[in-house]
A and B are shown apart, each in its own frame.
Chain A
Amino acid sequence: MSDEANKGLLSPLRRKLLMGMAAVPAVTMLPRASFAQAPATSAVNTTGLAVTDTEVTVGILHSATGTMAISETGSIEAEKLAIEQINAAGGVLGRKIKFIQEDGASDWPTFAEKAKKLLVNDKVAAIMGCWTSASRKAVLPVMEQYNGMLYYPTFYEGLEQSKNVIYTGQEATQQILAGLNWIAKEKGAKSFFFIGSDYIWPRTSNKIARKHVENVLKGKVVGEEYYALGSTQFNSVINKIKLTKPDVIFTDVVGGSNVAFYKQLKAAGIDLSKQPLLTISVTEDEIDGIGGENIAGAYACMKYFQSLDNPNNKAFVPAFKKAWGEKTVIGDVTQAAYLGPWLWKLTVEKAGSFDVDKIAAASPGVEFKGAPEGYVRIHENHHLWSKTRVGRAKLDGQFELIYETADLVEPDPFPKGYQ
């Protein structure tokens, strides 16, 4: 006995591998096994949520129609895939996850109405949903009033923290600072030109980026311009870029405007392989519309790229394509949406309960080792610890990973010195 134990300790890696392999067949047995041991509903659900002895209901709340549908569809698909995989692996506390999908219709008040319906009428145990900051801001009071749990996937501007929300995307400092450090060091960049869409996320992100450039990197912001959502005329700003010749163009233009922006940039003769451009708003999804040839050479600062080379992602990408078609691409937010159901499952199991209060309390410290981005952990402030990565856009619409932070970056939604 003791000999065996000693040998095992001598090669912990081998032992872990063996344990992992041994667990593989066990996974298929899990459903039955866990149904038998599933804890009583009265014990795991004391607040009247939609939990039965065999099922638990969650809500999916995204825009399936309207202007945001093109972005949010990936999130819906990722969440459904995660739920399917969790169910195949035995569900949560022995209960299969059933989901009710509602359409926010790209309309913020509709989001609030549907969130309320999911919480009040359907008594869902959690909601995976929202995409834009505006929809989250609309839903947040509802979540707090009716004590729901929202898993929100998008990278966003920060300045928010709620007991009732887990932010599975990056807040602004997590996304921006490491990327700026990298480009300043790598390219010796001293002057930056900011271009963004005119709403809260780009404005806040640029505010943080400006403070970082000026106070930490000791560089200079030579221009800061905003365009209304949906704008397609960028010629004047492109002329300004040509005049000011910044070392780096830093962009957070969102949605369809990107297509016009990058095409006009190329038409104006700005070659992104020579003129460094760092974007925090273009993922594989957007490149689908922009066209790889128009953006090749640009750098994007994200936490996930479809091309990431790790075992989790190598399992995730084929599974996603199998479920939703070979041609689908997976962007940063889609991956973050995939984390939602898994983190919820892990938290429920840690808390041993579906009660929202217990989940909110148990969330800090929950870690998900199967994340396609590698490894994530929930922070005290309900955001995720995750790495920042810089990728370079290629002609085929994928990103090539150029740089990643050595350690997980701490989420800091209320950054001191950046407000």
Chain B
Amino acid sequence: MNDSRFATRSELIGILVLAVFLVVILPLCLDVFRLNLVAKYLTYAFVALGLVICWGYGGILSLGQGVFFGLGGYCMAMFLKLEASSVENTKIQSTPGIPDFMDWNQITALPFFWKPFHSLTFTILAVILVPGIFALIIGAAMFKRRVGGTYFAIITQAVAAILTILIVGQQGYTGGINGMTDLRTLKGWDIRPDHAKVVLYFFEVGLLFACICIAQLVRHSKLGRILVAMRDQEDRVRFSGYSVANFKIFAFCIAAIFAAIGGAMFALNVGFMSPSFVGIVPSIEMVIYTAVGGRLSILGAVYGTLLVNFAKTSLSESFPELWLFGLGGLFIAVVLAFPNGLAGIWGDYVQPRIGKLMGTRKPKAGWTDNSVADGAPAE
């Protein structure tokens, strides 16, 4: 089997099926409100995708992905908020032309670090670079000192807590606990009406597939195999002459950038950004999406995110007072019964049967990715 290919045949089929599901089936079956909800769920799928690379392949468990989701989201929200705070929209304030929360906090001029966010180009660069560089700094500081495993997870949690406190505390500059609300237009294009939501949905699905392709490329490259080797036997890789830290930093940065793209799409889709996506709890939730989908499966991450969020919405709509228990029970059941998540169920139960029906004898291919996990690094 040639591992350097972009994708195996069954993976290609999996990607196609997902594409049909997201591009054709969902838009046809759902009304705009539900489609917009799916768009919101999919923003988390970017994070889950990053976690598959960083945690599933690289073995680096980050419990602070909310930080990068938040940074990306806030960068985008700052741009949108500035556009929504034109002088005529904010006539009623003591200082027109600045975001409303600054006015409430007695700030009379736009802070210097807000000014570049008048430019969309700068914003798009910032969405990618700010979280990327931040991840690079954290990663370099940690991995170069060989901090890993549990300690790394704890530190990422601390970073998430710190960033939340920072955002809530500096409310004059960040909107505090309220977050940035009432985002309206993107370069004059109203992002709130239904048709805009549909356009944003398809744009987001396109971006998601771009990210899936990058993840596939990483996975099937030599880099991906080194990541897996590192996860399973870090010392051996180090003794073979590889700089383990650099590979880890790379995986962590990719995960951070994916999360940030998700965050930016979230701000666009929901018209809202708040510190409640940055903290410890949402960060852990994002890990759960990946765990439910199967942490070794790129496509599983997308399905896992959709399933968990769908369950969250429908349970809370049906049982407003009890839904959290139901959701908790669901997680425990999935983790206990199916440690490899949805992808595990697919690989262990569904695919062998399909295989039997089709007459092929390759039970462990497809989107479970055991081919890479089991295989030794091909050097």
Contacts and interface: CB of A to CB of B under 8 A. Distances in A.
Contact of A140 (B31, B101, B177, B181): B181
A59 to B, nearest CB: 11
Interface stretch (A103-111, A177-185, A260-268, A307-315): A103-111
A117 B317 contact: yes
A224 to B, nearest CB: 12
Nearest to B319: A103
Determine which residue in B165, B179, B317 has the highest number of CB atoms from chain A within 10 A of its CB, and name it: B317
A159 B90 CA distance: 12
B279 to A, nearest CB: 11
A65 to B, nearest CB: 5
Contact of B320 (A102, A120, A145, A159): A102
Contacts of B106: 207
Contacts of B92: 414
Contacts of B317: 102, 117
Nearest to A157: B104
Given A105-B316, A141-B192, A228-B169, A120 B182 contact: no
A137 interface: yes
B182 A108 contact: no
Contact of B321 (A65, A107, A133, A204): A65
Interface in A43-84: 64-65
B271 interface: yes
Nearest to A65: B324
Nearest to A141: B182
Contacts of B184: 141
Residue from A108, A110, A116 with most neighbouring chain B CB atoms (10 Å)? A108
Given A112-B272, A200-B104, A200-B171, A101 B320 contact: yes
Contacts of B316: 102-103, 105, 110, 114
Contacts of A109: 270, 272, 274, 276-277
A108 B323 CA distance: 17
A419 B42 CA distance: 42
Q: How large is the interface on B (under 10, 10 to 19, 20 to 34, 35 or more residues)?
A: 35 or more
B321 A112 contact: no
A303 interface: no
A286 B192 CA distance: 39
A103 B320 contact: yes
Interface string B103-129: 011100000000000000000000000
Contacts of B165: 228
A134 B169 CA distance: 15
Contact of A200 (B101, B272, B276, B277): B101
Interface string B157-178: 0000000010011010000111
Interface centre among B33, B40, B181 (most CB of A within 10 A): B181
B94 interface: yes
A312 to B, nearest CB: 30
Contact of A108 (B178, B313, B324): B178
Given A65-B324, A103-B321, A199 B182 contact: no
Given A200-B101, A204-B104, A134 B320 contact: no
Interface in A84-135: 101-103, 105, 107-110, 112-114, 116-117, 120-121, 133-134
Which among B37, B177, B179 has the greatest number of chain A C-beta atoms within 10 A? B177
Contacts of B272: 108-109, 112, 138
Interface in A274-301: none
A200 B176 CA distance: 8
A108 B272 CA distance: 9
Contacts of A204: 104
A116 B171 contact: no
B69 to A, nearest CB: 12
A212 interface: no
A120 B316 CA distance: 17
Contacts of A117: 33, 317
B35 to A, nearest CB: 11
A198 interface: yes
B169 A200 contact: no
B168 A228 contact: yes
Contacts of B323: 65, 103
B178 A133 contact: yes
B182 A140 contact: yes
A401 to B, nearest CB: 32
Interface in A196-236: 198-200, 203-204, 207, 228-229
Given A108-B274, A112-B270, A141 B181 contact: yes
Contacts of A138: 178-179, 181, 272, 274
A134 B179 contact: yes
Interface string B12-47: 000000000000000000010100010010000000
A419 B181 CA distance: 21
Interface in A144-166: 145, 157, 159
Contact of B274 (A134, A140, A199, A419): A134
Nearest to A116: B33
Interface of A: 64-65, 101-103, 105, 107-110, 112-114, 116-117, 120-121, 133-134, 137-138, 140-141, 145, 157, 159, 198-200, 203-204, 207, 228-229, 414, 419
Listed from nearest, the 7 A-B pairs whose CB atoms lie closest are A103-B320, A134-B178, A120-B33, A137-B181, A64-B321, A141-B182, A101-B320
Given A103-B323, A141-B181, A200-B104, 18 more contacts: A101-B320, A102-B316, A102-B317, A107-B276, A108-B179, A109-B272, A109-B274, A110-B316, A114-B316, A117-B33, A120-B33, A134-B177, A134-B178, A138-B178, A141-B182, A145-B192, A203-B171, A228-B169
28 contacts: A65-B323, A102-B320, A108-B272, A108-B276, A109-B270, A109-B272, A109-B277, A110-B316, A112-B272, A113-B37, A113-B40, A114-B316, A117-B33, A120-B33, A121-B31, A134-B274, A137-B181, A138-B179, A138-B272, A141-B181, A145-B192, A199-B177, A200-B101, A200-B177, A228-B168, A229-B177, A414-B92, A419-B94
